[in-house]
Amino acid sequence: MNYTTMKLTSDIIGHIVEYSGDRVALWTLREYMAPRLYNNLRLYKRRRLIYGEVQSGKTASIIESIQNPLYEGLYKIVILQNSILVMNQYLHRLRSAGIDFQIVNRKTQTIEKDVILLMNNKSRYARFLKAFNIDRPSKKYVLFMDESDSYSRGQHPLATSSVHEYYVTATPFHKLYKTPGFFHTIHRVETSQQYKGLNNITIEYNDASVTTIVHQFYEEVSKRGEGEKGMMLINAFQKVTEMVDIGLALSQKFKEIVFVTLNCERKIIFRGKSRKLKPQPISDLIDLLNDKGEKYIVFIANRMSLRGLSYCSSDYTRHLTHQYSDLSLVSVTSALQRMRLFGKYIDNHPIKLIVPSSNQKMIEKMFDNLDLKFEINRELS
């Protein structure tokens, strides 16, 4: 049988790539395409959803996307929550990945880096617009919106002028996202065998006082044997004064536990005495307490225990083992986002969530939520 070899022209290859909608194919075949066509396709508007369970590895997907060679020569703008703790956490992750970046703050006059971190508040946004000069044709950028469903309209104002839009969240239920054809591609972050989520932890319904619950935490960790450590998060209280008062009272009763309150004034409380902490990543604080040999650590937080924050040491060897929450007055989305207990852990320490018995219906809704299929029209344009 005779075979005829057909040489594909750069235009034909370009059309194949264009209709495939495959970004990997675009990068792989770039050398066989006319440069102008390649650049046009590279800058073709795309919306991508990255979603997965809480603390399942979405930040790693953002970093991988930032390093995508297709985005060479483009600005990469990452929108973060309005939280210094979240910002500091990102600094650690980007530095570990060897990514150079710039933070927009009140001192920013010009944009000098390709990767830009922008906290989601009006003053920093205004500062960014003044420094970036967004209307210039050369200012082409890719936008990464972390925890995008928390924005009032489901997307940041910078999305309109971006080349590509990344929507990153564990709870992609904003009404905007259900618009047919809104997302061109969807990436689900698969959980590894090391991931501990709602299906992999012990849930205890307990109406005892917070003092009794902390005592149980202390007893459970100490019974595991010499050298065992435990770390607990309490995010069942809303008022700052209440959090601090509870921390002081508990520290006088439990002499071997270090308490840390996280709010506008971060404090470390030990044996009834407190001192302020400087702003730093939570991982650095855990590293410090771990190096000092502290076996029991209890964080008391509210707003600073919601989205985006990971309560884990920098080497991921120490993490939350217990969490006490009250989810009776929040939505299913908020309840899931409060689960800082979840994560990928390299050990097999038991993980426990403690909630009042009134939370049972909410826990059932959270399980139902995990079974839902997120239905989006996946038609590629």
332-352, pLDDT tens digit by residue? Answer: 888 988 999 998 888 888 899
**Distance (Å, rounded) from C-alpha 333 to C-alpha 316?**
26
Instruction: Quote the mean pLDDT of the chain.
Output: 86
Whether 179 shows a pLDDT value over 90: the answer reads: no
Whether 94 shows a pLDDT value over 90: the answer reads: yes
Domains observed in the chain: 45-188 (3.40.50.10810), 195-369 (3.40.50.300)
Residue 241 banded pLDDT, cuts 50, 70, 90:
confident
Q: Which residues of 165-178 are buried (b: 16+ CB within 10 A; e: fewer)?
A: bbbbbbbbbbeebe
Whether 4 shows a pLDDT value over 60: the answer reads: no
Give the Å distances, CA to CA, from 294 to 227, 231, 318: 10, 10, 11
Q: What is the pLDDT of residue 231?
A: 96
38-61, pLDDT tens digit by residue? Answer: 766 666 678 899 988 888 888 889
Q: What is the pLDDT of residue 137?
A: 64
State percent of the chain over pLDDT 90: 44
Whether 71 shows a pLDDT value over 80: the answer reads: yes
Q: What is the pLDDT of residue 135?
A: 66
Lowest mean pLDDT among 3-12, 79-88, 334-343, 361-370: 3-12
Of residues 325, 147, 296, 123, the one with CA closest to residue 238: 325
271-327, pLDDT tens digit by residue? Answer: 888 888 887 888 999 999 999 999 999 999 887 777 878 899 988 889 999 999 999
Over residues 3-17, mean pLDDT: 66
**Distance (Å, rounded) from C-alpha 171 to C-alpha 201?**
20
Over residues 77-88, mean pLDDT: 90
Joined tokens for residue 84? 């210094």
Joined tokens for residue 282? 């939570």
- Higher local confidence (pLDDT), 280 or 356: 356
